[in-house]
Every structure is written in structure tokens, then in C-alpha cells.
Amino acid sequence: MEATVVEHALAQHHLSIVRDRQTSPPQFRHSLEQLSMLVACEATKDLELHEVRVHTPLTTAVTRRLARSIGLVPILRAGIVMVEPVLNLIPEAEVWHLGLYRDEATARPVPYYNKLPAGSPVDIALVLDPMLATGGSACMALESKQAWGARQTVLISVIAAPEGIDRVHLQFPDTPVYTCAIDGELNDDKFIVPGLGDAGDRVFNTM
């Protein structure tokens, strides 16, 4: 399964802004939010719908609404910035946070917070993380969703590396991956190149 890349012109525009090291934190957050919305639109375009009859101001109409429960699972901390734009698209969605930080010595994810409930999983979990680098955090998050019992998972990122995509597809072949760009490689420090730096630091101005 290949990752789906959003080819929209506005995605290219906002990618240029988030990649630029001169971009201010407010500008960075804004463009990252726009990218999150664009990639979320692509990732959710085939969600299952059911027919609903509604009363318009003039008559009745047969319309369609989402048929399954949706959960947003941002990987803290950078994933927080992706929540609001996706929640604006799906205001009925649940939001469950998952905290992982990167051990700088090993580049491996370390869990520190898991707010997933013991039962009542959503039908579809959208895992939100701006950067898919090694795939370690993403796979740990997907393991949590699997243990939770979500029927379907979708991974939504802004920039991805081939290594991360390959790892997710190896461990979770049924999980589709959506992103706005697939960059060339990871450097020796396991950062995506050319990338955009540390998304969390740039979002929260903690560089």
C-alpha cells in the first residue's frame, strides 16, 4: 500500500511556508493548520455515509451523513495543532490524546500519557502527527488503537519519510497513510530531510 500524497496547489503553498526557517511561529501554526485540513479532507473523502431525510425551509430532502463514529488521536505534543482544523470538519468527533516523546539518544518513542478509555472504541480512529519520520511513534500509537479496538485506523501526517511509511505499512498493512509530502530521507539524527525541523518546537516557539 502506497501513501496518498495531497497534490493540491494550496498544500504546496503552505508547505513552502512551513519549510522556511524564517517563518514565525504564528505563521508556522497557521500554515500547519491549513495543511492539516487539506490532508484530512483527502483522508476522509470516502467515509461511509447513510441517508437521512431532513426538512429544508421549503420541503424535505434526502441527504447523507457520516455513518460511523470518528475519533481524533493527536500524538502529543505537535499533533495538538492538527486537532482544531480536523475537528472543524468533523465537529462530532471524539478527541483522545496520546503522549509520546522522542528519546534523543536512541530516537525511539517513549510513552508518557494515554487517555484512551478502557472500552467503547470509535469505529474509525484518525491518528494525527505532523511528522512521520522513523515511524516509531506512529506504530506505537497504532498499537494503542488496535488494543483499544477501533475498527479502522488512518494515519494523517503533513510530511513523511520513506522509512516511516515503510515501517507503518510493514506493521500495519491495512492502515492507510495520508500526507502532503514524502521527503527524501532521514539524516543521522533521524530528522526528515529537507523536512521542516522540529514541528513541536516551531509550533510552540520553544526552539
Catalytic residues: 102, 106, 198, 201
φ/ψ bin of 130: left (φ > 0), alpha (ψ from -120 to 50), beta (otherwise): alpha
User: Per DSSP, what are the bridge partners of residue 193?
Assistant: 185
Evaluate whether 99 touches 74 at the Cβ level (below 8 Å): no
Q: Name the grid cell of 52.
A: 437521512
> What are the distances in angstroms from CA 102 to CA 10, 23, 106, 113, 202?
30, 24, 8, 13, 16
Coil, strand or helix at 63 = strand
Residue 30: partners with Cβ closer than 8 Å, 6 or more residues away: none
d(CA 197, CA 147): 32
φ/ψ bin of 149: left (φ > 0), alpha (ψ from -120 to 50), beta (otherwise): left
d(CA 166, CA 40): 21
